Structure 1
Amino acid sequence: MSEDLREMLTDGAVHEGDVVTGEVTSVDDSGVTVALSHGFEGVISAQELSAIPGTDASQVLKVGDSVTAVVTKVDMESGQVALSKRRAEQSEAWARMQAQFESQAAFEIQVRDVVKGGLVADVGVRAFIPASLVDRRFVEDLKEFKGQTLKVKVVELDPEKNKLILSRRAVLEEEQESRVQELMEKLQPGEVIEGVVQRLTDFGAFVDVGGADGLVHISELSHTHVEHPSDVVKEGDHVKVRVLRVDPDAGKISLSIKSAQPEPWEEFATEFHPGDVVDGVVKRVVDFGAFVELRPGLEGLVHVSQISNEHVAQASDVLEPGQEVKVRVLSVEPERKRISLSMKEDNGGGAREQQPRRREPRRQPERQVDTSSGTGATLGDLFGDLFKK
């Protein structure tokens, strides 16, 4: 070390605790060398570069960068000045994070590492994003986020415990809520739009219609009866839906797949004419007859008087749901959305090759009459002689 530099150090030109600024002259695995004013050389060790232990120096600084650091030690023998970029940033960082927490404004961070349970970032102090706050949905592998720039919010901080918790999920949910409100202002009841099935429940299907999920109730999935939504759609399906209702205050959108499809009467009714003999399936049985499905969603009524040439008291005596039948069209009334059918035979060959069989009542077992006298002899044995006279 030169006498001039030793004299400057001795005179106290650089003190521990001073905040100094210099230019990075070299970067290696051990840390960073910084050229300070008056010819001093400062060294920032790897552990003093970042709030994240084990951070690669080249990820933080490069040659030519200007850096501000705190003087942690002055070595009179070598003339080197130990610096800490981490300490210089801490005080300012906590003040900045406190302001972010109070304003709840979103800001960007870069993910430095993936650890058990979440992500780690350096914002002047160590910041942690728990796995549950990384996304709106569960993330299987967090490694995909390493090195990424994410928009986050401060949800918890405690400088004394060196604790800073960030949330990306809070930002995503806020953005989602904004998209939902914007979408609801645009959606109009009655319009038909495209969507993607997101998830199924016992009572219906949730469909994404451009940033917001709307519910298609199970009764609005199809013109035919649906036992479970999975019988009609599956997750990932692209579907057309009609907007039924929009409730911005409740954040709810009611949709219908059924209403976005042609009415069965519009699609199939013109296929049928009086006298036609067609196949169908019994869908419902009531006291006055049976409803037979001719095409999906299109049903006709076989009145109880038209089930058989023989008298039928109740349709359920002869028919049951799911039964395949052959019927003859009696009349078609599009304006009333009604088709009358018959299963009776007619002189022209009839609607059926044979009449439906009546369900036979369960026969009671014949009662056995004990004709024995209790003595081991039958009545014939005891009174046979009387019949001979």
Structure 2
Amino acid sequence: MNENLAVNGGAKAITLDQEEALRWPRLTEEDEQAVLELMRKNEISVSQEPMKLEKEFAQFLGAKYALAEVNGTAALYAALFVLGIKQGDEVICPSYTYWASAMPVVTLGAKVVFCEVDPKNLNMDPEDFRKKITPRTKAVIPVHLWGLPCEMDEIIAVAREKKIAVIEDACHAHGAEYKGKKMGTLGDFGFYSFQASKNLPGGEGGMLITANEDYYYQAVTLGHYRRAADLPERYSKYQHTCLGFKHRMSPLHAAITRVQLETLEEKNRIRNANIEKLLKALEELPGFEIYWPPSYIKRVYYENDIVYRGDKTEVPIDRLIEMLKAEGAVVRRDRYSLLHQQPYFVERGSNPEDLPVTREISEHVIALPTFPGDDGRLVEQYIEAFRKVAGTF
């Protein structure tokens, strides 16, 4: 028994107070003032604030059209609606993702077809995407998981060949780029979330992205009451009813998002620097498989999830987590459950034993902090904790 390990009664490697270094979102007086200004003007419901955010976020992305939505889920629903997704259609997306990447497909009556991920990067496998296409496939939803862009050239090439629409789930990828282009601007649609945990936090809210003018008009008509009045006549005639939904983003959330957008790049830089310092150290330890994207991909870190192979160290993943927690680390298994194994889909014919690659790799993922407010000292203690535990391998 190694008595130096904290799990065996030894001193902890991580002794710093972690609350401030890990605090997110990082709100300031500027955020407060932006909200108070709207409240003092009584603009807590109808306001130009969401439209100001649309303009600024479109400029940030280099996008032609951006439409503020009540959340990212609504933005995806709008994209699917505009594409005419309906009963009998199929939409392909990974099983290894948040439920909101798939469930709007179901609400429109279509079928979700799940595909494998690449075990190296945990993103959609372009080859398996191709294999899952049928004559009923109408769209694909590549998810830029944890802020790492998918291999979009390969996915788009297959989609164009098969005449399938591409809807990028960029809800984890604020500021990420693929070959110099911001995520959400490469497909027919992209969509973002501004939920409080995201790299660009507004509390709630989302954004739909497209370069297609007609798609934009249709999305406005779906859920933006009265804004349709400014559209061409074929859409403006619906201004008094729209099409049954209210997707308008709260101006208070838009105000916070606008302030946070000003510092997004700097906050991403801090996360990246801290996380990559840790990952470079873990790369030298047995059992950890660190993926470094090619130079044409600029990633961000919504979460810091890595692959650990306990079969290479004889220390199972749950035992590793136990030892690291004893050292003071904030660490856990990945929080996503595979969608194709969820009761909703199993009850409708999904085989939980499908997608063997996805099932296998998901058992080896651990989640670590993103260190958004760390000056480097906490990361050093995490490195020491990992080295200490790895000394028992």
Pick the TM interval, shorter chain. under 0.3
More strand by share: 1
> Which has more radius of gyration?
1
TM-score normalised by L of structure 1 = 0.20
More helix by share: 2
TM-score normalised by L of structure 2 = 0.20
Higher relative contact order, structure no. (Cα contacts within 8 Å, ≥ 6 residues apart)? 2
